[in-house]
C-alpha cells in the first residue's frame, strides 16, 4: 500500500510528479520518508509592537485596507494594514495581485515574514500567510515549520501542503519493526510518532526524539547488516576451523632479530591478531595504520606464526611494485626461518606460474606474495591459513571474496588510509578494527608549506638544489575531473613545461594511469634506482611505494584533493634519513579549501586529517562513499559517534541471539532491502 504511486493519490500536475521523481520521490512511502532539511521555528507569535526588522516575524492578526497598485516600472504591489491587539503594521506583497481576492479581511490570519525598514517606515514584506480555521492544524506558520530540500518548481510550502494530508492518511500503515527490547534500551519513541513529528512536530522536545529515533534506525540497520555479514563469514564448520596457536618463542626470535624496537601500537595489534588466530573461526580484521607506521612487520609476524602451525599464507597487494616490495621484505626477514616464499604477478611467465601453483597445491610453498594474479583461475592451496590484503580498499569486494573462498582462511586487511572510527565501523563494520596509532620513534616530521604563486620559481630553484645534493622529488599534477584524457593531457603539459623551462638539466620521469603496467613499473624502478631525479605524476602514485631517497613532494592544484589523499602523497617522502618537504600549490582557495591547506601544514596524523576532512566535506566527498553504494543517510550523521556506538551495540546483541533474524522477520525484511555496502575507489 505504501508503495502506491503518487500519481494515484496526489492531486497535482504531471510536471510536479516528475519534479518529485527527480528528488527520488515516487510513491507514498518515499514522500513520507522525504525528511525536512531543517525547521523554522515559527511557533511563537510576535506582537506587532515587538516586531524586529530583518528578522522573520510571525504575527497573528487581522488584515484590512487591502488594495493593488502598480509602480511606474510595472511592478504590481499589494498593500494592506495588519493589526493585532498591540498595534498595526504595513504589509507589502510584490506581483501577487490575486491576494486581494484570496485573503479574508478582518478575520484572524497568520503572517510570517521579514520586516524591513524603508523610508522611515517598517513594513512586513512578502510574508507567507496561513488562514486559521477552527479545526485545521496550521502547517506553514504558528508552529515549528518543516523546510524541505527544494527544487526548481517545488517549494517547501507546496511540499507541506501535499505532505500534510498524506501523513494524516497513511501514517497508520507505517508498521513498527524495531524490537521492543531495542526501543526500551535506548528509550526511543515509536516509528509512527517519529515519522509524524519529523514532518510536523508539536514541539522541540518531540522533534528531537523523532530525529533521535530515525537516526538510530538508519545506523542500526547498517550495523545489523554488516554484523550479520561478519557472522556468516565466521560461522564455519568445526572441520574447516583453523585454530592457530601462538608460537611465542619463534615470534620473539624474529622480533629480536629486527634492527628496531616495535612500537607499543605494533605490539598491541600483533597481540590482537594472535588472539584472533587462536579462535575456532576465521579472523576478520582490518589494520588501519598511517603510512610508515610499520604494518608490514605486523603482517610478517602473523604470517610466521601461521606457517609454524603448518598452514600457508597468501599476501595480495594492488600493484606489482608493491607486491615486489613486500616479497623482498619477507624474503629478507623470514628466509632464515627456512620458509619457501614465492611471487606471482602479471609479469610472471606461464612456466613459473605453473610451478608456483604446483608448489601451492602440494604445500611446499609457505608464502605466496602477489597481485590480482593470486585470485585468478587455476590458483589453489593445500591449506591456506591466512590471507593478507594490503591496501584493501584498492580491491573490489568480489576480489576479496575470491581470496576468502580458498578454504575460509583467517583474513587480515590492511589500509594506510586511516578513517575516523565512526566511519570505519560503518563501512568496514564486518571486520574488527586494529589501529596502529603511533609512529616509530625518530621519524622526522615532513615540513609542509602552502606556497604562494609568487614563490613558485624560488621553490623550483630550491628543488633543483636538493636534487643536486642527490635527493629526488615528486611533482603531482592536479586532478582535473573524472576524465582520464584530460588528466593525461595535463600531466603531459606539466612534464613538457618542467623539462624544457624549469629543469632542463635534470632527468625527469612521467607517470600516469594510461601507461601499461610494465611501463609504470619500469619508471618506478628507474626512480627507485635514482635514474630519474624528478617524477611528474598524476595521482596514480598514491599507493605505498617506498623510495627513501625522495625528499620532496610538490603538489599542484592541492585544493582539488581531499586531505586523506594529500596525506597519502606526502607519505611518499620522509621515508629515509633525510629531512623531507611537502609543497602545496593551489588555485583559488575557497574558505573550506584554506582550512584544508592549513590543516595539512599543521597536522601530520592521518587520523586527525581524516576527521577534519569528514567534518569539512562529509563522507560522500571524502571517501567516494556515495558512488560506491553506501545507502544515503537521510537523518543520521556518520560523525555521530554516540548513536553509531549505540546502534552497533544493539545490533550485536540481536546478532548474538539470533544471527539469521528468524524471530525478527521485520528486521530481516528491512536489511534485505538495504543495498550492499562496499567502498572502493
Ligand atoms: P606501512 O605501514 O606504511 O606499510 P612499513 O611497514 O612499510 O609501513 O614500514 C615503513 C618503514 O618503517 C620500514 O622501513 C620498516 O622497516 C620501518 N619500521 C617498521 N616498524 C618500525 C619500528 N617500530 N621502528 C622503526 N622502524 C620501523
Ligand atoms: Mg605498506
Ordered domains of the chain (ranges, CATH): 1-41+155-173 (no CATH), 44-142 (2.40.50.140), 244-278+294-415 (3.40.50.300), 447-603 (3.40.50.300)
Model confidence at 628, pLDDT cuts 50, 70, 90, reads very low
Q: What is the pLDDT of residue 377?
A: 82
- Looking at per-residue pLDDT, the higher value among 82 and 319 belongs to 82
- The C-alpha cell at 623 is 571517501
Ligand nearest to the CA of 287: 1
What pLDDT digit, counting tens, does each position of 348-359 carry? 999 999 999 999
CA-CA distance, 57 to 41, in Å (whole number)? 10
What pLDDT shows up at residue 489? 72
Helices (H) and strands (E) in the chain, counts: 23, 20
Nearest-angstrom CA–CA distance, 612 and 595: 9
Rounded Cα gap, residues 350 and 316, in angstroms: 19
- Whose alpha carbon is nearest atom 24 of ligand 1? 440
293 lines ligand 1 (CB under 6 A): yes
d(Cα 490, Cα 493) in Å, to the nearest integer?
5
- Alpha helix locations (H) across 171-203? 180-186, 191-199
The finding on whether 416 has its CB within 6 A of some atom of ligand 1 is yes
Cβ of 604 below 6 Å from ligand 1: no
pLDDT, residue 421, reads 83
pLDDT at 469 over 60: yes
Nearest of 93, 105, 113 to residue 63 by alpha carbon: 105
Which single residue is written with the C-alpha cell 522477520?
Answer: 665
Q: What percent of the chain has pLDDT over 90?
A: 53
Q: What is the DSSP letter of 394?
A: G
All 3 cell numbers of residue 287? 589494520
C-alpha cell at 445: 616530521
Cα 439 to averaged position of ligand 1 atoms, centre (Å): 9
Mean of the per-residue pLDDT values of the chain: 88
What pLDDT, on a 0 to 100 scale, did the predictor assign at position 473?
Answer: 97
* Cα of 312 from ligand 1 centre, angstroms: 24
pLDDT band at 418 (very low <50, low <70, confident <90, very high): confident
Whether pTM exceeds 0.85: no
* Secondary structure (DSSP) of 612-651: HHHHHHHHHHHH-TGGGTPPPPSS--TT-HHHHHHHHHHH
| Ligand 1 in reach of 289 Cβ (< 6 A) | yes
User: For 333, phi and psi rounded to 5 degrees?
Assistant: -95, -15
- Please give the backbone phi and psi of residue 127, each rounded to the nearest 5 degrees, phi first: -70, 155
pLDDT at 626: 44
Is the CB of residue 206 less than 8 Å from the CB of residue 144?
no
Give the three cell numbers for residue 272. 590482537
What ligand is nearest to the CA atom of residue 435? Answer: 1
Q: What are phi and psi of 67, to 5 degrees?
A: -150, 160
State if residue 440 touches ligand 1 by the CB under 6 angstroms criterion.
yes
Whether residue 677 is predicted with pLDDT greater than 60 in this model: the reply is: no
How many Å apart are CA 290 and CA 480, to the nearest integer?
Answer: 27
The DSSP annotation for 315-362 comes to EE-SSHHHHHHHHHHHHHHHGGGT--EEEE-TTS-HHHHHHHHHHHHH
Q: Is the CB of 544 under 6 A from ligand 1?
A: yes
Shortest-distance atom of ligand 1 to CA 442: 25
Continuous segment of H or E residues that includes residue 359: helix 350-362
Task: Say how many C-beta atoms besides its own lie within 10 A of residue 409's C-beta.
Answer: 25
Measured CA distances, 462 to 459, 474, 510, 552, 600 (Å): 5, 14, 21, 10, 21
- Confidence check: pLDDT of 627 > 50: no
- How many whole angstroms from 295 Cα to the centroid of ligand 1? 7
Three cell numbers at 51? 516586531
681 confidence band (pLDDT: 50, 70, 90): very low
Q: How far does the centroid of ligand 2 lie from the alpha carbon of residue 30, in Å?
A: 45
Highest mean pLDDT among 48-62, 371-385, 459-473: 459-473
- Which residues place a Cβ less than 5 A from the ion ligand 2? 544
Q: How far is the CA of 409 from the centre of ligand 1 (A)?
A: 26
Given a cut of 70, whether residue 42 has pLDDT beyond it is no
All 3 cell numbers of residue 645?
A: 556506538
Q: With contact defined as beta carbons under 8 Å apart, do 648 and 429 qualify?
A: yes
Coil vs helix vs strand at 607 = helix
Pairing mode of beta strands 341-344, 508-511 = unpaired
Counting ligands in written order, the one closest to the CA of 289 is 1
Q: Is the CB of 298 under 6 A from ligand 1?
A: no
Interacting residues of 9 by C-beta distance below 8 A, sequence separation 6+: 28, 166
Q: Is 543:524 a contact under the CB 8 Å cutoff?
A: no
Average pLDDT, stretch 214-231? 94
CB contact set of 674 (below 8 Å; sequence gap of 6+): 221, 222, 225, 631
Give the number of the ligand closest to the Cα of residue 315: 2
pLDDT band at 482 (very low <50, low <70, confident <90, very high): low
* pLDDT classification of 71: cutoffs 50, 70, 90: confident
Atom number, ligand 1, closest to the C-alpha of residue 295:
2
Using an 8 Å Cβ cutoff, are 339 and 254 in contact?
Answer: no
Predicted pLDDT of residue 678: 45
How far apart CA 368 and CA 381 sit, in angstroms, is: 10
Which residues in 416-453 are b (16+ Cβ under 10 Å) and which e? bbbbbbbbbbbbbbbbbebbbbbbbeeeeebebebbee
Ligand nearest to the CA of 266: 1
Q: What is the whole-number distance in angstroms between the Cα of residue 473 and the centre of ligand 1?
A: 21
Return the residue whose CA atom lies nearest to atom 13 of ligand 1.
294
pLDDT for res 92: 93
What is the structure's pLDDT at 491?
87
Mutate which of 296, 302, 572 for ligand 1? The one with the most ligand atoms within 8 Å of its CB, which is 296
Residue given cell 628466509 in the structure block = 335
User: What pLDDT, on the 0 to 100 scale, is given for residue 413?
Assistant: 94
Residue 628 has phi, psi (to 5 degrees) of -110, 15
pLDDT band (50, 70, 90) for residue 41 = low
Mean pLDDT of 200-215: 93
Question: pLDDT above 70 covers what percent of the chain?
Answer: 93
Which ligand 1 atom is at minimum distance from the Cα of 571?
A: 3
What average pLDDT score do residues 143-161 get?
A: 80
Residue 596: phi and psi, rounded to 5, are -65, -40
> With a 6 A CB cut-off, is 141 part of the ligand 1 pocket?
no
Over the stretch 571-623, which tens digit does the pLDDT of each residue have? 889 888 899 999 999 988 898 899 999 999 999 988 889 888 888 877 666 66
Residue ID of nearest Cα to ligand 1 atom 23:
262
Q: What is the CA radius of gyration of the chain?
A: 32
Closest CA to 544 of 512, 567, 562, 516: 567
Quick one: pLDDT band at residue 636, thresholds 50, 70, 90? confident
Q: For residue 540, is it left (φ>0), alpha (ψ between -120 and 50) or beta?
A: alpha
Q: Are 86 and 49 in contact (CB under 8 A)?
A: yes
How far is the C-alpha of 89 from the C-alpha of 125, rounded, in Å?
11
Ligand 1 site, residue 487, Cβ cutoff 6 A:
no
Q: Say what the pLDDT of residue 287 is.
A: 95
The ligand 1 atom nearest the CA atom of 546:
7
* Residue nearest ligand 1's atom 1 by CA: 292
If you measure from the C-alpha of residue 538 to the centroid of ligand 1, how many angstroms do you get, rounded to a whole number? 26
Closest ligand to residue 300's CA: 1
| Residue of minimum CA distance from atom 17 in ligand 1 | 294
Amino acid at each position: 500500500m505504501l508503495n502506491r504511486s503518487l500519481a494515484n493519490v496526489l492531486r497535482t500536475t504531471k510536471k510536479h510528479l516528475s519534479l518529485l521523481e527527480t528528488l527520488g520521490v515516487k510513491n507514498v512511502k518515499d514522500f513520507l520518508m522525504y525528511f525536512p532539511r531543517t525547521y523554522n521555528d515559527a511557533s511563537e507569535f510576535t506582537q506587532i509592537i515587538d516586531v524586529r526588522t530583518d528578522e522573520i516575524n510571525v504575527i497573528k492578526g487581522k488584515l484590512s485596507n487591502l488594495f493593488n497598485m502598480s509602480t511606474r516600472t510595472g511592478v504590481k504591489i499589494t498593500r494592506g494594514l495588519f493589526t493585532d491587539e498591540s498595534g498595526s503594521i504595513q504589509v507589502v506583497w510584490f506581483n501577487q495581485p490575486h491576494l486581494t481576492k484570496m485573503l479574508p479581511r478582518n478575520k484572524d490570519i497568520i503572517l510570517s515574514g521579514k520586516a524591513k525598514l524603508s523610508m522611515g517606515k517598517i513594513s512586513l514584506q512578502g510574508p507567507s500567510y496561513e488562514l486559521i480555521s477552527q479545526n485545521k492544524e496550521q502547517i506553514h506558520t504558528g508552529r515549528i515549520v518543516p523546510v524541505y530540500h527544494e527544487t526548481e518548481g517545488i517549494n517547501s510550502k507546496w511540499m507541506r501542503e501535499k505532505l500534510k494530508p498524506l501523513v494524516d492518511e497513511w501514517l497508520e500503515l507505517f508498521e513498527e519493526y524495531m524490537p521492543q527490547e531495542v526501543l526500551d534500551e535506548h528509550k526511543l519513541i515509536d516509528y509512527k510518532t517519529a515519522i509524524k513529528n519529523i514532518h510536523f512536530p508539536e514541539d522541540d522536545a518531540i522533534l528531537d526524539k523523532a530525529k533521535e529515533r530515525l537516526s538510530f534506525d538508519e545506523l542500526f540497520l547498517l550495523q545489523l547488516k554488516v554484523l550479520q555479514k561478519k557472522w556468516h563469514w565466521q560461522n564455519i564448520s568445526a572441520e574447516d576451523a583453523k585454530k592457530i596457536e601462538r608460537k611465542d618463542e619463534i615470534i620473539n626470535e624474529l622480533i629480536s632479530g629486527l634492527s628496531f624496537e616495535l612500537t607499543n601500537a605494533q605490539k598491541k595489534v600483533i597481540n590482537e591478531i594472535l588472539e584472533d588466530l587462536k579462535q575456532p573461526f576465521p579472523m576478520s580484521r582490518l589494520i588501519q595504520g598511517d603510512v610508515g607506521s610499520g604494518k608490514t612487520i605486523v603482517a610478517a609476524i602473523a604470517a610466521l606464526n601461521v606457517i609454524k602451525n603448518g598452514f600457508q599464507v597468501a599476501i595480495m597487494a594492488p600493484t606489482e611494485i608493491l607486491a615486489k616490495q613486500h616479497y623482498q621484505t619477507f624474503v629478507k626477514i623470514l628466509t632464515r626461518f627456512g620458509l619457501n616464499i614465492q611471487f606471482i604477478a602479471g609479469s610472471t611467465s606461464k612456466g613459473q606460474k605453473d610451478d608456483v601453483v604446483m608448489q601451492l597445491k602440494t604445500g611446499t610453498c609457505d608464502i605466496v606474495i602477489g597481485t590480482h594474479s593470486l585470485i585468478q583461475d587455476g590458483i589453489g592451496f593445500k591449506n591456506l591459513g591466512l590471507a593478507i590484503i594490503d591496501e584493501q580498499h584498492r580491491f573490489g569486494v568480489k576480489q576479496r571474496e575470491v581470496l576468502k573462498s580458498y578454504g575460509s582462511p583467517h583474513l587480515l586487511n590492511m589500509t594506510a588510509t586511516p578513517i575516523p572510527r565512526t566511519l570505519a565501523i560503518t563501512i568496514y563494520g564486518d571486520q574488527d578494527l586494529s589501529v596502529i596509532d603511533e609512529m616509530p620513534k625518530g621519524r622526522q616530521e615532513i615540513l609542509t608549506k602552502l606556497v604562494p604563486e609568487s614563490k613558485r620559481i624560488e621553490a623550483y630553484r630550491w628543488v633543483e638544489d636538493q636534487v643536486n645534493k642527490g635527493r629526488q622529488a615528486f611533482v603531482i599534477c592536479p586532478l582535473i575531473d573524472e576524465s582520464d584524457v584530460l588528466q593525461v593531457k595535463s600531466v603531459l603539459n606539466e612534464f613538457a613545461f618542467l623539462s624544457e623551462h624549469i629543469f632542463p638539466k635534470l632527468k625527469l620521469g612521467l607517470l600516469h594511469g594510461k601507461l601499461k603496467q610494465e611501463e609504470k613499473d619500469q619508471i618506478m624502478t628507474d626512480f627507485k634506482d635514482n635514474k630519474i631525479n624528478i617524477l611528474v605524476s598524476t595521482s596514480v602514485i598514491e599507493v605505498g611505494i617506498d623510495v627513501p631517497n625522495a625528499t620532496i613532494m610538490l603538489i599542484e592544484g592541492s585544493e582539488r584533493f581531499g586531505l586523506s589523499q594529500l596525506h597519502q602523497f606526502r607519505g611518499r617522502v620522509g621515508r629515509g634519513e633525510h629531512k623531507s618537504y611537502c609543497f602545496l600549490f593551489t588555485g583559488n582557495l575557497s574558505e573550506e579549501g584554506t582550512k584544508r591547506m592549513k590543516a595539512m601544514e599543521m597536522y601530520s596524523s592521518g587520523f586527525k586529517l581524516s576527521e577534519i576532512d569528514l567534518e569539512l566535506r562529509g563522507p560522500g566527498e571524502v571517501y567516494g562513499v556515495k558512488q560506491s553504494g553506501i545507502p544515503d543517510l537521510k537523518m543520521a550523521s556518520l560523525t555521530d559517534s554516540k548513536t553509531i556506538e549505540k546502534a552497533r551495540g544493539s545490533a550485536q546483541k540481536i546478532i548474538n541471539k539470533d544471527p539469521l533474524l528468524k524471530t525478527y522477520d521485520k528486521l530481516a525484511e528491512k536489511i534485505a532491502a538495504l543495498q550492499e555496502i562496499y567502498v572502493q575507489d
